[in-house]
Amino acid sequence: MKLSPSVSIQQTETGLEYISINSNLCGAKIFLQGAQITQFIPKNQKPLIWVSQDEDYSEGKSIRGGIPICWPWFGLHEKQGWPIHGVARTQIWRAEEVNELDDYIEIILSLPMNQIDKNYWPHKTALKVTFRLSTSLSVYLTNTNLGNAEISFTQALHTYFPTPDIKSTHVDGLQGAQYIEFGQGPFKQNDIVSFERETDMVYNNASQIQNIITQDGTINVTRENSTSCVLWNPWIEKSKRLSNFSDDEYQKMLCLEAANVKEDTITLSPGESHTLATIIKWHN
């Protein structure tokens, strides 16, 4: 991979390598472990993604924050003991390309499939993620079926967003969608979402654009090739059980995740590709 003037490879004290971007458009960090972006700050604006202050950047463990890639399943697998949210977020991805243009920087990583335990994923596929960084952040997760049989999978771009105060935060744009929460439902979302308790809503038939309204401004979140999304905040009790997460940090974050889950599960015929995308920016 050939680097550009604004892009370098750095390393944490724990030895994890990340791609550092420092351009006239934005600053960002993308870890090779999990192909996980953990920082995105548009120039002269506030950060657009959140990471826990307790994160220790351990090898083989997903980072608490940023945008973990959940693949090839989201949540708990039906088989007991299989890793939650799949296998992609703890693997070391390969940096393939850096392209620096006047109006954005593009970084492409791929997941070497020979690293994946065939018990978890026996299929012949290619998986890559493309980050397009400017004053907005676009993330494209592309699956390609290289085998001779149909494959199905679920996935999510598990984005953690910052907020000064979750109790003063609202999510607009989910009205009219159906959701399931804690195994109950479906229910219809009638109003703008506010946060007063643990929230774990899996939406179906959701519109493509939501706005997260915070005291720091409004974050615009767009999805592509996705009719499902997940809204999550652990609130008080669950925060105490989470690893790499301070007890009170639920007040400063929420997740709004572009997904292909439930009725939105993806099935690819041989040779087919699918790209899930999330695009985030501060609303002007």
3-class DSSP state of 8: strand
Q: What residues contact residue 224 under an 8 Å CB cut-off, 6+ apart?
A: 140, 208, 258, 275, 276, 277, 278, 279
Q: What residues contact residue 157 under an 8 Å CB cut-off, 6+ apart?
A: 67, 69, 70, 139, 141, 257, 258, 259, 276, 278
- Whether 158 sits among the annotated catalytic residues: the reply is yes
- Whether 274 sits among the annotated catalytic residues: the reply is no
- The active-site residue out of 55, 85, 249, 257 is 257
The DSSP bridge partners found for residue 77 are none
- The active-site residue out of 158, 181, 237, 263 is 158
Q: Say if CB 140 and CB 157 are below 8 A apart.
A: no
Q: Could you count the other beta carbons within 10 Å of the beta carbon of residue 252? A: 17
Q: Nearest 10 degrees: CA dihedral of 274, 72, 141, 213? A: 110
Q: Say if CB 277 and CB 187 are below 8 A apart.
A: no
Residues annotated as catalytic are 158, 257
